[in-house]
């Protein structure tokens, strides 16, 4: 029952906040407290509830909505539970002058519950159910500012996500019809499928991949993500760099390894087609990030590229690839949330949105930009930073892959790393080393944010370094998960 | 973690110290300066103790392993070569740190400089102590990034641009190197330098192409830092713009980290491999010659020294190539390479610090501006002269010894080739290029020396202020610079006592053996090579530099001119356009195109509606609309006809049988009732309100109502007639029906 309670706490908190209304004062302690409680419950579930199945209610026939916490769910829920309370802390300062605070926190907390639901799902229909819910509860967050831009962004987000879910649904129906079960099983559920239905299943797989892949921003369905960066920064940072988009990647890992099975897909035309789409997305995201001059949109494009790093590991269809994908899923979350939080701090404190306005800002916001540089170096794959670890395993898996695609993957990774260096370091260089005749008086009155924003940023930056220097525990955990031992 | 912790201390103590010094510097700058000196001194003393232990006791090399560090573990070792180079590094850091205090006295951001200086020291130590290429790579990358801050320290536009180039080369080099490591690891399954040689032997037959590729990638990465052609582009730009102590370290030490990597790859993967040696040799020859040529043309003090560094790296690479070509008998090449590395580090330390002393006083580096500064400053002259003689390969100075060894190696190989009946033309040419490059070294050093210490400035007033300047350096700077200068002749005068021992200590790293016979450095055969170079140098100086590279100005005085064509710059000509224009343009264009025309909003909102809209509107207009409109028109007509049939009947009747009679229209109402009632209501109203205000009369209102009632009654009356008529017609119809039916 612990799993159900864990999911219900944030959902009920969210509902309570909606009823509380925007007019009244925001109960910060209540929000932070209930988020922390959820995280504690999540970790309690991880340690006590692993492997147990919780049946919620039957849907129809023999389909059920049920929870089951396995290794994959452990990784995703553990990651989310770690980040969420800190992001709420950050949001409390970031949203301090907002009129619709309570509404914001209501949906923010609801999203937490839904995301945990995705992580805990025992079968495809449960995951699909929460996946759809995720779109609905995050929609008001994108719409938060209610201006022209956010309305069009929210509309776009809704169209893409709902469209994607429709394709996902097709996949679900076929799995119910042809599969032995809809439960997640490492190795797949299509063990007894006759040869002639294979081709239709592959076709459906492609549809479902793009369907679920829309949340993971795979090219050419990535457009909603850069546009959605009009949302408040806590949303962009946590949802559009971690929870929502990683839920997309998570769903794809589930679909590939736990429903279809790596063996079923390996070497088929779908495999190579999707492999090339993933590579295109990486090249695309990193190139567009270099060309983008809006701070948060640049990071959003970087997210597009990095999500496809995770998908690259996934689509290698090997244990080493899955391990690399999971590592990047976790480490990228840390790096990107740091980078976004820094961008948010700059927007909140200095009110600067474009990269060309950032000259010399590091002189007055040293903590923010030091952490940003750490995130940037890590994204590039500098040794001693976390990003290096996941990129190393990705490249190693690609080399071990040995196919033409593997070599292409290495080249794309190289290209992307060079582009990452340009788009991340150019910001740091600008901020730390302004031109010699730079007028420092324009920076007066700007300073680092208060502890509420600084704590998460510093904590994540330190964690990136810790993982970079001593990654062994994390790598071991991922090996166990990828091998199906957890 | 296991092994000797002093190795870990050597790598991480400066890094920890750097952070403490940064924090101290925010509180008190003086304390910070002393603390930084202290950190470097402790580092130096530690490695010196280890150096004496290693050189006197014949022990197993110290080792240290930290398995959990950064995934694949940290592997350190301290054998002869490593302890030697670690000592050189610590020595250079010590002197430059001492010199830094005066040099940076008027600089901003000193705290930042010290932070990154100490960090780089730790990283450099890590590179030299690494026993495993993975460890090398990690420290190498850290070093690349921390030293970036040196290059851009002055934050001038040139410095920022040079820094950009430096960073780009470092990033690309690092990534390419990483790919090389992957390939090597895939091929052999290890990156440990000790295990690499047997592992390579085991798989050489089947995987040699892969190994060559991985070697090339790694040398690309290491060579980028070493300033190897064609990746040298950053070097002549970054070294001059960095502050002088940093230039000394960049030139003397950081390039050697690159060379260290090349040596590690060469002697552990391609030991005695002639193909590999040949290519390294060729690259070395080009680097050596091109660097010297650029230095001859340069008219900027530090740029000349930077180009000279590039050239000397070329000499070292020639030695590396020779190690492979000579195979088992490569003792001379091994020792020459090693000694030239050490010599070049020490010489460049001295020369760059002298250049720093000049810059500190004048804030200029242009030869025409600083001309004559060194006159009547004997100690400065001594320091520069020692470096110049050393690098020029003048007998009795240290550079001579190593250059002789390298030259001998080439000669030996030529003889060997001749002995086996091979074609010696190529290596004869290489020998001559070697000698000419040596000659050019003499020429450009003479140029600098004459300019700084012999000639007078064209501007008499300036010369006077230069001459009067006695207080041009502080005590501690003087000690540092003169000390660095004194080392050079000491090594050069006692090659058997000092340099041979250094070579013995370090050659094991390159799997070199002691030479079969002792080399007589001052025998005629060896002196001859040096003297030929000196002669070429004298000739070049007199006939090229004094004539072609100097021109008379308007006042008739000779000036140094920059005769190197501006356009001839590999970076601006090839690399920058490639990286800045071609890649982003090509990829950017492709993606923007896709973005804009295929998946974007306009596509959905404009293109799709336009295309389908046209199709449908054509269908609409020409195929669907005509029949529809025909049908609709006809239908409307018919229904109209049908529905108005009754009206027509009535209208017809009215015109014919029921035509109304032409009587006068009577007055509809007399309005009497309305008038009476209205007046009464008005009176009542007035009585009830008593406020004296005018109220609108109710008479008109009531009259209007009355008229309406009367008119309505008229209409009703008229209609009754029609109604009766219609009822009658209906009755008649019924009657007819009944009659017909019955």
pLDDT per position as a tens digit, A206-231: 989 998 988 888 887 888 888 888 88
pLDDT recorded at residue A116 = 92
Mean pLDDT of A175-184: 83
Interface of chain A toward chain B, CB-CB under 8 angstroms: 220-221, 223, 283-284, 287-288, 290-291, 377, 380-384, 388-389, 392, 395-396, 399-400, 410, 414, 417-418, 421, 425, 429, 433-436, 468-472, 475
Least confident of A315-319, A378-382, A449-453, B260-264: A449-453
Contact A284 B591 (CB under 8 A): yes
> Is the model's pLDDT at A303 over the cut of 80?
yes
The span from the CA of A476 to the CA of B488, in Å, is: 53
Strand partners, A57: A65
pLDDT recorded at residue B111 = 86
Radius of gyration of chain B (CA): 49
The span from the CA of B137 to the CA of B261, in Å, is: 9
Contact A471 B70 (CB under 8 A): yes
The span from the CA of B685 to the CA of B683, in Å, is: 5
The span from the CA of B106 to the CA of B113, in Å, is: 13
- Phi, psi angles (nearest 5°) of residue A178: -100, -25
The confidence band for A8, taking pLDDT boundaries of 50, 70 and 90, is confident
pLDDT recorded at residue B28 = 86
- Phi, psi angles (nearest 5°) of residue A284: -60, -55
Name the percent of chain A lying above pLDDT 90.
22
The span from the CA of A301 to the CA of A284, in Å, is: 9
Contacts B600 to A, Cβ<8 Å: 223
Kindly report the average pLDDT of chain A as a whole number. Answer: 87
pLDDT recorded at residue B693 = 67
The span from the CA of B96 to the CA of B580, in Å, is: 36
Contact B592 A470 (CB under 8 A): no
CB B308 within 8 Å of CB B385 = no
- The two tokens of residue B12 are 């991480």
pLDDT recorded at residue B285 = 93
CB-side neighbour CA atoms (13 Å) of A57:
2
Strand order in the sheet with B62-66: B2-3, B62-66, B74-78
**Cβ pairs A/B, distance under 8 A:** 94
Mean pLDDT of A379-395: 89
Contacts of A484 (CB under 8 A, 6+ apart): A71, A186, A187
CB B208 within 8 Å of CB B200 = no
pLDDT recorded at residue A333 = 92
User: Any idea what DSSP says for residue A294?
Assistant: B
The span from the CA of B673 to the CA of B682, in Å, is: 14
The per-residue b/e assignment along B86-115, b for 16 or more CB within 10 angstroms, e otherwise, is bbbbbbbbbbbbbbbbbbbeeeeebbbbbb
Contacts B179 to A, Cβ<8 Å: 395, 410, 414
Q: Which of A148, A383, A438, A475 should we substitute to test contact with B (largest number of B Cβ atoms within 10 Å)?
A: A383
Contact B175 A434 (CB under 8 A): no
Contact A417 B175 (CB under 8 A): yes
> Is the model's pLDDT at A307 over the cut of 90?
yes
Contacts A425 to B, Cβ<8 Å: 167, 171
The span from the CA of B26 to the CA of B24, in Å, is: 5
Rounded to a whole number of angstroms, the distance from the CA of B72 to the nearest CA of chain A is: 9
The span from the CA of B9 to the CA of B76, in Å, is: 11
Contact B167 A471 (CB under 8 A): no
Q: B618 by DSSP, 3-state: which?
A: helix
pLDDT recorded at residue B605 = 60
Comparing CB atoms, the residue among B171, B178, B591 nearest residue A288 is: B591
CB B21 within 8 Å of CB B118 = yes
pLDDT recorded at residue B602 = 58
- Enumerate residue ranges in chain B where pLDDT < 70: 58, 580-581, 584, 594-609, 616, 620, 624, 658-670, 690-695, 742
CB B365 within 8 Å of CB B300 = yes
Mean pLDDT of A109-124: 91
Q: Is the ipTM of this complex over 0.90?
A: no
B74-78 and B62-66 beta bridge pairing? antiparallel
- The two tokens of residue A376 are 């940037």
The span from the CA of B657 to the CA of B438, in Å, is: 136
Interface of chain B toward chain A, CB-CB under 8 angstroms: 68-71, 137-138, 141-142, 145, 152, 154-157, 160, 163-164, 167-168, 171-172, 175-176, 178-179, 182-183, 185-186, 584, 587-588, 591-592, 594-595, 598-601
CB B129 within 8 Å of CB B76 = yes
pLDDT recorded at residue B136 = 92
């Amino acid at each position: 029952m612990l799993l159900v309670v864990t999911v219900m706490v944030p959902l009920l908190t969210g509902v309570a906040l909606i009823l509380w209304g925007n007019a009244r004062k925001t109960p910060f302690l209540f929000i932070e407290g209930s988020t922390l409680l959820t995280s504690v419950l999540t970790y309690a579930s991880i340690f006590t509830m692993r492997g147990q199945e919780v049946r919620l209610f039957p849907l129809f026939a023999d389909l059920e909505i049920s929870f089951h916490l396995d290794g994959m769910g452990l990784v995703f829920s553990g990651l989310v539970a770690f980040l969420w309370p800190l992001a709420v802390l950050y949001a409390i300062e970031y949203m301090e002058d907002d009129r619709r605070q309570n509404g914001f926190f209501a949906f923010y907390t609801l999203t937490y519950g839904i995301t945990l639901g995705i992580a805990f799902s025992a079968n495809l229909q449960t995951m699909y159910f929460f996946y759809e819910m995720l779109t609905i509860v995050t929609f008001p967050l994108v719409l938060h500012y209610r201006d022209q831009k956010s309305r069009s962004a929210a509309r776009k987000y809704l169209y893409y996500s709902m469209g994607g879910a429709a394709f996902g649904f097709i996949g679900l129906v076929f799995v119910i019809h042809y599969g032995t079960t809809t439960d997640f099983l490492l190795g797949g559920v299509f063990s007894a499928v006759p040869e002639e239905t294979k081709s239709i299943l592959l076709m459906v797989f492609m549809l479902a991949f793009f369907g679920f892949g829309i949340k993971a921003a795979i090219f050419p369905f990535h457009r909603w993500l850069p546009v959605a960066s009009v949302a408040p920064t806590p949303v962009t940072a946590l949802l559009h760099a971690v929870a929502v988009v990683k839920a997309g990647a998570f769903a794809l890992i589930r679909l590939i390894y736990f429903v279809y099975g790596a063996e079923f897909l390996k070497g088929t035309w779908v495999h190579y087609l999707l492999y090339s789409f993933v590579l295109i997305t990486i090249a695309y995201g990193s190139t567009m990030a270099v060309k983008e001059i809006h701070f948060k949109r640049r990071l959003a494009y970087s997210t597009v590229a990095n999500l496809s790093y995770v998908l690259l590991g996934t689509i290698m269809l090997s244990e080493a690839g899955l391990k690399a994908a999971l590592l990047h899923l976790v480490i990228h979350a840390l790096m990107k949330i740091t980078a976004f939080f820094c961008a948010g701090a700059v927007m909140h404190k200095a009110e600067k949105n474009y990269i060309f306005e950032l000259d010399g800002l590091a002189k007055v916001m040293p903590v923010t930009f030091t952490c940003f540089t750490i995130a940037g170096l890590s994204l590039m794959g500098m040794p001693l930073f976390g990003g290096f670890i996941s990129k190393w395993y990705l490249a190693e898996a690609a080399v071990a892959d040995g196919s033409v695609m593997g070599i292409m993957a290495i080249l794309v990774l190289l290209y992307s790393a060079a582009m990452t260096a340009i788009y991340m370091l150019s910001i740091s260089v600008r901020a730390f080393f302004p031109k010699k005749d730079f007028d420092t008086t324009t920076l007066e009155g700007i300073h680092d944010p208060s502890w509420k924003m600084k704590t998460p940023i510093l904590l994540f930056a330190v964690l990136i370094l810790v993982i970079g220097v001593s990654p062994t525990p994390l790598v071991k955990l991922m090996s166990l998960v990828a091998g199906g031992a957890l | 973690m296991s092994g000797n912790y002093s190795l870990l201390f050597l790598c991480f103590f400066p890094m920890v110290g750097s952070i403490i010094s940064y924090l101290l510097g925010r509180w008190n700058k003086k304390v910070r300066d002393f603390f930084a000196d202290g950190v470097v001194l402790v580092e130096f003393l530690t490695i010196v103790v280890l150096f004496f232990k290693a050189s006197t006791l014949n022990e197993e090399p110290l080792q240290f392993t930290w398995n959990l560090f950064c995934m694949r573990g940290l592997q350190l070792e301290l054998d002869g070569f490593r302890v030697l180079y670690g000592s050189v590094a610590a020595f250079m850091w010590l002197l430059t740190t001492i010199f830094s205090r005066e040099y940076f006295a008027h600089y901003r951001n000193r705290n930042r400089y010290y932070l990154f200086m100490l960090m780089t020291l730790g990283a450099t130590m890590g590179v030299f102590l690494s026993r495993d290429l993975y460890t090398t790579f990690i420290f190498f990358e850290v070093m690349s990034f921390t030293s970036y801050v040196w290059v851009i320290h002055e934050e001038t536009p040139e410095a920022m641009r040079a820094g950009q180039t430096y960073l780009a080369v470092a990033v690309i080099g690092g990534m390419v190197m990483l790919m090389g490591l992957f390939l090597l690891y895939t091929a052999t399954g290890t990156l440990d330098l000790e295990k690499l040689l047997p592992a390579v032997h085991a798989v050489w037959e089947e995987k040699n192409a892969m190994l060559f590729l991985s070697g090339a990638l790694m040398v690309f990465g290491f060579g980028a830092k070493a300033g190897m052609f064609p990746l040298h582009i950053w070097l002549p730009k970054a070294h001059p713009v960095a502050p002088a102590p940093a230039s000394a370290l960049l030139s003397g030490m950081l390039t050697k980290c690159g060379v260290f990597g090349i040596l590690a790859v060469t002697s552990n993967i391609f030991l005695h491999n002639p193909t590999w040696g040949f290519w390294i040799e060729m690259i070395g020859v080009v680097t050596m010659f091109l660097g010297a040529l650029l230095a001859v043309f340069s008219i900027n003090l530090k740029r000349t020294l930077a180009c000279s560094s590039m050239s000397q790296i070329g000499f070292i690479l020639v030695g590396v190539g020779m190690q492979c070509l000579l195979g088992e008998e490569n003792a001379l090449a091994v020792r020459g390479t090693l000694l030239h590395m050490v010599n070049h580090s020490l010489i460049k330390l001295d020369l760059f610090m002298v250049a720093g002393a000049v810059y500190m006083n004048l804030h200029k580096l242009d030869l025409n501006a600083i001309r004559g500064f060194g006159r009547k400053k004997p100690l400065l002259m001594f320091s520069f002269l020692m470096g110049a003689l050393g690098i020029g390969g003048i007998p009795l100075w240290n550079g001579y010894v190593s250059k002789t060894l390298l030259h001998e190696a080439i000669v030996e190989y030529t003889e060997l080739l001749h002995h086996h009946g091979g074609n010696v033309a190529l290596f004869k040419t290489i020998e001559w290029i070697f000698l000419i490059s040596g000659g050019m070294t003499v020429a450009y050093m003479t140029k600098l020396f004459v300019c700084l210490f012999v000639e007078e400035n064209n501007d008499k007033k300036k010369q006077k202020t230069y001459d009067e300047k006695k207080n041009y350096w502080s005590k501690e700077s003087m000690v540092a610079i003169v000390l660095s200068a004194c080392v050079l002749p000491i090594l050069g005068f006692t090659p058997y006592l000092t340099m041979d021992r250094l070579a013995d200590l370090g050659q094991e790293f390159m799997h070199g053996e002691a030479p079969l016979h002792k080399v007589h450095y001052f025998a005629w055969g060896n002196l001859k090579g040096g003297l030929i170079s000196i002669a070429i140098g004298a000739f070049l100086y007199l006939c090229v530099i004094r004539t072609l590279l100097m021109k008379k100005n308007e006042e008739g005085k000779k000036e140094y001119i920059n005769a190197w064509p501006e356009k001839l710059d590999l970076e601006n000509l090839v690399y920058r356009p490639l990286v800045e224009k071609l890649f982003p343009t090509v990829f950017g264009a492709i993606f923007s195109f896709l973005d804009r025309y295929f998946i974007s909003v306009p596509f959905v909102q404009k293109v799709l509606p336009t295309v389908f809209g046209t199709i449908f509107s054509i269908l609409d207009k020409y195929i669907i609309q005509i029949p529809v409109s025909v049908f609709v028109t006809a239908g409307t007509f018919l229904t109209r006809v049908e529905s108005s049939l009754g009206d027509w009947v009535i209208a017809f009747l009215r015109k014919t049988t029921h035509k109304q009679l032409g009587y006068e229209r009577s007055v509809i109402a007399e309005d009497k009732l309305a008038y009476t009632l209205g007046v009464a209501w008005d009176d009542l109203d007035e009585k009830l309100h008593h406020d004296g205000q005018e109220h609108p009369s109710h008479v008109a209102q009531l009259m209007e109502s009355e008229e309406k009632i009367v008119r309505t009654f008229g209409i009703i009356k008229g209609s009754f007639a029609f109604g009766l008529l219609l009822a009658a017609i209906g009755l008649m119809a019924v009657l007819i029906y009944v009659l017909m039916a019955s």
